[in-house]
Amino acid sequence: MNQQYRNFDETKLIPQGWWLQISPLSRLDPEEWVLGVLKKGKKSWITEKCKSGFANQQEAYDWGIEFINQQLNKTKNDKRT
């Protein structure tokens, strides 16, 4: 197993009601990955953010988790005021 990437059993770290969709783009040189951050709505999944330009899937995953955490913290702060 390539040690560059952590164990992708980390999907359990994605907060409930959110999902990360990570896919390679069709170019190989340079390799590039795209990320979709989805949030579960009442009737369907809603794309909250799309971002490309990641060098590997771990970089996309880390960025996505950080985005979700920022959104969750923003929601918590909005409820306090």
3-state secondary structure of 13: helix
Q: Is 46 left (phi over 0), alpha (psi -120 to 50) or beta?
A: beta
- State yes or no: pLDDT of 16 exceeds 90: yes
* Each residue's pLDDT tens digit, 64-79: 999 999 999 987 777 7
Mean pLDDT for 18-27 is 92
Q: What is the side-by-side order of every strand in the sheet holding 45-54?
A: 18-28, 31-40, 45-54
**pLDDT on residue 26:** 83
3-state secondary structure of 19: strand
Within 8 A by CB and 6+ apart from 53, the residues are 32
Mean pLDDT for 13-33 is 90
* Each residue's pLDDT tens digit, 35-65: 999 999 999 999 999 999 999 999 999 999 9
**pLDDT on residue 6:** 54
**In the chain, domain spans:** 8-80
The model carries a pTM of 0.79
